[in-house]
Structure 1
């Protein structure tokens, strides 16, 4: 996406961030498409009128994934607390005067969720949330779409996206061969699950250049 696209998207987000009513904007898409980068840029442009609440804060902890036998599928739909994420969105939709809501974040260096990391003040008009499964219509993810005022689906050339994913895993400690195997087996399986949600989005954002990781 070029700077003019970003300007248009920022203007669209700014219209959602009008005072007086809490809105929630979702940014969905496959792994490596640049969702967190786009969300961060929007929130940075809007300043105190927006806050970023990532879906990845609802990853199950590593110890729980191991207990459930799902550690080798981390990132799949059933490796998140989807019901907890939906419950947080419901709470964010109806802010209580004087009450700050604390949302979790995800620490990529630790590969763990961190509770209470993101304060959401009741007077912030726009919450931006991003993640793979915002448009996934199955199981505990099904209610999420109805809790979002608008959802954008971000897509990127698959070859670029896969390269970015491999580099991300290497940057956070995996050997390159291991990173390539993980992307082929896990991340791309999740990308195929995410793809049908494109048709449920309010807007499809096509990245014509490689967004920053």
Structure 2
């Protein structure tokens, strides 16, 4: 994976150089839950910054901040389903995500604010992440970055590159089960596996079945 990270970092720097000094280069990193998107995004951003002569020019951010709040889910037409399926595409503010990507594209010389997700509160925090104009490469990772459904696909069209972390289903489920258990959101190992293969499994099926064409498929 180290060689792959180095290749992606160097290629992205070359792609940015071809665009010119005033351009902000956007990379979308998609994948199923537990695929390793966050790890890849952070590693490539660090690789770019290590290689860059201009300092820290790359920033990796998750789309987790676009989770609808619990209050919003409770007000949806079927609140029980919405709360149970939290993490599915329809439980995200996709229009808000599209707006963020468009602002990053339109305002390369401005600081753009994005939401984050507070895992202690289990809710998003508005304008918690500042993306400065010095961040000329922004890697945005999330399950639905390359989803072939509006408005996700309109956001994907704004990206300069789309990557997909291609991870075997059994590997992703095992990672998720360990993560759920470690975070304390489940009572025991059995519940962790049920969650990872149940709700998360449905989301993974949606990602795989509705994947847009991508520029890179990276083994996760």
| TM-score of the pair, normalised by structure 2 | 0.86
Q: Output the CA distance in 2 between the equivalents of 1:5 and 1:128.
A: 16
Report the 3-state secondary structure (helix = DSSP H, G, I; strand = E; otherwise coil) of the residue aligned with 2:146: coil
**Runs of 4 or more above 6 Å deviation:** none
Report the 3-state secondary structure (helix = DSSP H, G, I; strand = E; otherwise coil) of the residue aligned with 1:143: helix
Kindly provide the CA deviation profile for residues 13-69 of structure 1, in whole angstroms up to 9, marking residues without a partner as x: 222343321110010011100001110111222231111232111000122222321
Q: How does 1:1-213 map to 2 (within 5 A)?
A: 2-18=1-17, 19-47=21-49, 48-68=56-76, 69=79, 70-95=82-107, 97=109, 99-173=110-184, 174-175=186-187, 176-198=189-211, 200-207=213-220
Q: Output the CA distance in 2 between the equivalents of 1:96 and 1:31.
A: 30
Kindly provide the CA deviation profile for residues 117-142 of structure 1, in whole angstroms up to 9, marking residues without a partner as x: 21111232111101111111213223
Contact kept? 2:30, 2:143, Cα under 8 Å: yes
Contact kept? 1:96, 1:122, Cα under 8 Å: yes
Q: Output the CA distance in 2 between the equivalents of 1:119 and 1:63.
A: 25
- The aligned length equals 205
Q: Output the CA distance in 1 between the equivalents of 2:34 and 2:70.
A: 21
Match of 1:210 in 2: none
Q: Output the CA distance in 1 between the equivalents of 2:90 and 2:211.
A: 20
Could you say what the CA RMSD is over the residues aligned between the two structures, in angstroms?
1.7
Higher RCO structure, 1 or 2 (CA under 8 Å, sep 6+): 1
| TM-score of the pair, normalised by structure 1 | 0.89
